[in-house]
Amino acid sequence: MKKCVLIYNPNSGKGRARVEKNIEKIKQKFFLHGYELEVIPTKYKGHASSIVKELKNIDLVVSIGGDGTFNEVMNGNFKRKNKILLSHIPIGTANDLGNMFGYGKNLLKNIDLLLNGSVKNIDICTINGQPFSYCAAFGNFVNISYETPRSLKKKIGYLAYLVTGFKNLLNKNKIYDVEYKVNGKKYKNSMSFVIMSNSSSVAGIKNLYKNVKIDDNVFEVLICSFNKKIEIIKILYYLFSRKIYKSSYFKCYKTSDFKIKFKNNGIYKWSIDGEKYETNNICDIKIEKNLEMIIPNKNISTLFKVQ
């Protein structure tokens, strides 16, 4: 019988209650698909990465939690010499990965989708060598993803991000002078924020980009520039109506290699898969490795170039 380790974040959404309440049903489902299941809860930030890095003789690792939980599992896997097949079931607040793959809200039904899914290779991006599974972002409002209190997310869910975002409106709008290189061309510009992603769902916005493929060896870059706070209303309109290609506020690219340099030296705080990541003023983002995952069959025809 094959061996599977299920790693779940008890602090993600209602993770502890949803997993522990159904633990025997979960084990039975994996058993019927030929897996002996071991269940491990995370105890601290970075724990999932440490667990995966040290696993031996395991055929499959499944993470249950938010996007950040899967990021830890993926990072632990990249530190291994022998990579393990991965999968992910969302029970967090935003769940961009879960939305992209076609998961719903029911944990047990999601497990069925996973176990009856297909193994696919997914492009993984890195920023200065640090891998991220679907999104890296910097600039105004990006801090919302990692500064929204966990306690508030548990109480009101996705609305917690909107509350934190509203508070951010009181902050001064920052403009960053940058140089960047994309698809062999160099640019100098000012920007308010930048998003690099390999996903059809970003910041809870489904289908933000047209025709996203997550195995085509390119990722999407979105650079936004605005000067006045009042313009954020227009920015939100174009984002949530998926009309970024029709607005002069945005520059959109598809690329496999994107370099950005901030004019001023210092430490810059990014959001990587919803978690804080600090780096210097020079960032090199590229596709370096493929990730082998089991995902539901539901959206494969639209997400993958190679069927």
Q: How confident is the model over 242-271, as pLDDT tens digits?
A: 888 888 899 999 999 999 999 999 999 998
**CA nearest to 12, candidates 73, 91, 128:** 91
Q: In sequence order, what are the residues at sequence separation of 6 or more whose Cβ sits closer than 8 angstroms to the Cβ of residue 290?
A: 121, 122, 123, 124, 215
| 3-state secondary structure at position 91 | coil
pLDDT digits (tens, 9 = 90+) for 182-228: 998 999 989 999 999 988 778 777 778 888 899 999 999 999 998 88
pTM reported for the whole predicted model: 0.85
| pLDDT cut 90: percent of the chain above it | 51
Q: What is the mean pLDDT of residues 37-46?
A: 93
Q: Which residue's structure tokens are 């599992």? A: 73
